[in-house]
Amino acid sequence: MPNKDELLRALQLGGIVAEHDNLLSECFVRHPVLTELTNDQKDLILGAKGAGKSALWKEIRDSKHKYETISNVELQLVTNPAGDPEFRDILVAIGNDEFPDVDELRVAWRLYLLAQFWRGARELINPDLRQQIGTEIDRYGIIPKKESGLKAAFAFAVAKARALKQLKVSWTSGVALEFDEDQLKAGGSAAAIPFNDMIAAINESLSTVDRRIWLILDRLDEIILGDEARENQVLKGLLLAYRDMSDFPCARLKVFLRDDVYQRVTSIGHFPALTHVRSKAAGPIRWELEDLLLLVVRRFVANKPIVEFLGLDADSKLTPELRRKIFYSLFPAKVDKGRAAETFKWIVDRITDGNGVATPRDLLSVIDAARIFQLEQMQREGRDLPGTQLFAEDALRRAVRKVAKDNLETRIFAEYPDLREPIEAFRGGKADHNDETLRHLLGSRADDIVRRLERVGFLFRRSRDGAQMWTVPFFYSFALDMTRGASFDLAVPAEGHEEVNLREDNLAAHPDSDQR
């Protein structure tokens, strides 16, 4: 029987990112959105970063045999699942003066997606139809003559969209892409290219052989870091192109997108037929407490030493009762003595952002960080934990704090660098604000900044003791060493309310009844 130090060292929780998660298939928890996806009811899969969007397409790609409804679907990933997205490389290589507008981007996306549908379909369909459609594809220069990867294919689509408008793209240094000028200008104008006829022909040819193609687009929230205006243009162009191509049952585009980004892009106006797009959106993905517990417990019992350590039957069904028994065999009953919340809810509450979202990624990150902190504590103090417990309260507090700080850097500062300064203005202060204290803190642009902070989950609106206020959630309060409580005078103090300094590891956050 291994000791606890050995168990923690050997413990494997899988990759935090779905693309690198070797336990994803074995430990996969089916979310209701998966059914909408596999039944082809929804095309736009929305959710927060780390909510499990990528896990859905990875599951249906790697375990397609489990899902009868997609048995005749060819899944084609048309963005790079790891490393920098090729779209970003191409878009940042276009100079400011030549960056395409929404209409050009809509054409570029239609060209790119049509080319990818054809690449997927041409080996599946009848040879006569292949020749007929291929002639049209060649006539209008939809695919570059030289076979290329996704990056060059997208660059070609952007360059062609510009050329059809009699404009030329000059790539910045580091990107050298040359395409056949006759091919770029084939068609004369975007209006002259029969997009609908060609995609309809591909759709019909697939139907005759009972095959379908789904193009998978993911990681689009990273398409242009730090430039919301450009990102809005690019993604609006994509959604307009999707709208144009969404009525063909054998040629589907499946877009996996952050819900806050989707809301931002679709709220900027001048978006014809938006209802048609919204009707095909699933989610946003949200996780119930019991589903998150199942997700965590499955990761633990995927480790054979843990199963043996707890004396479990490897074939036992993970009923709700057994999940709790396993979790609380390894974790303390509570983190903060005297509080009502049990440990698992305590963790989830403290990784929940202002939009009410707690993600599997953050949850697994906390537990893995606690594993490291617990090992360090065992080595430093040589103190064992009671019974089968592997994690102490202090390791969990430190883990939540670490993940909160990492999250602030990677989820907000990295993607919205202009929000760093206003967010840092909250550091060391109180978590609850009214409009007046926010204007004092953020200056003349407070209203605009607050809207953006609300959208990214850094602030949420609530009411307490009859007072309307804005609150920084636990997660980001931890990251900024903030104190729970109001930065303004409440007309009627909350009975029994206590302020808690989140800078002290051995103190609790404020009562759960005081959190949304």
Neighbours of 467 (CB within 10 A): 16
Residues in the chain: 516
CA 509 – CA 491 distance, rounded (Å): 23
Q: Do residues 245 and 110 make contact, with C-beta atoms less than 8 angstroms apart?
A: yes
Q: Do residues 56 and 33 make contact, with C-beta atoms less than 8 angstroms apart?
A: yes
The predicted pLDDT at position 73 comes to 97
Neighbours of 436 (CB within 10 A): 11
Asked which of 394-398, 469-473, 497-501 is least confident by mean pLDDT, the reply is: 497-501
pLDDT in tens, 169-193: 888 766 677 888 999 999 999 999 9
CA 500 – CA 430 distance, rounded (Å): 10
H/E element holding 282? strand 281-285
Q: Check residue 433 and report its DSSP letter.
A: E
Tokens of 167: 């404009």
Tokens of 14: 């899988």
CA 393 – CA 331 distance, rounded (Å): 8
Per-residue confidence at 1, pLDDT binned at 50, 70, 90? low
Q: Report whether pLDDT(514) > 50.
A: no
Helices (H), 313-419: 320-330, 343-350, 360-381, 393-407
Which is nearest to 362 in space by CA: 296, 437, 453, 441?
296
Q: Say what angle helices 102-121 and 150-163 make with each other, to 10 degrees.
A: 130
pLDDT in tens, 257-305: 999 889 889 888 778 778 888 999 997 999 999 999 999 999 999 999 9
- Tell me the pLDDT of the chain averaged across its residues: 87
The side-by-side arrangement of strands in the sheet containing 430-433 is 460-464, 467-471, 430-433, 483-486
The predicted pLDDT at position 510 comes to 35
Which is nearest to 57 in space by CA: 86, 26, 25, 88?
25
The predicted pLDDT at position 507 comes to 33
Q: Check residue 504 and report its DSSP letter.
A: -
Helices (H), 100-251: 102-121, 127-139, 150-163, 181-185, 195-208, 228-244
Question: Domain extents for the chain?
Answer: 31-285, 331-516
Tokens of 393: 């309260």
Q: What angle do CA 57, 63, 253 make, to 5 degrees?
A: 30
Q: Can you give the pTM of this predicted structure?
A: 0.86
Q: Do residues 352 and 362 make contact, with C-beta atoms less than 8 angstroms apart?
A: no
SS3 content of the chain, % helix, strand, coil (to 5): 50, 10, 40
User: Omega into 284 within 30° of 0, i.e. cis?
Assistant: yes
- What CA–CA distances, in Å, run from 44 to 80, 238, 513? 18, 12, 35
Q: Say what angle helices 289-301 and 320-330 make with each other, to 10 degrees.
A: 60
Per-residue confidence at 427, pLDDT binned at 50, 70, 90? very high
The predicted pLDDT at position 495 comes to 44
Q: What's the sign of the alpha-carbon dihedral 263, 268, 269, 270?
A: negative
pLDDT: which is higher, 180 or 83: 180
Q: Check residue 146 and report its DSSP letter.
A: S
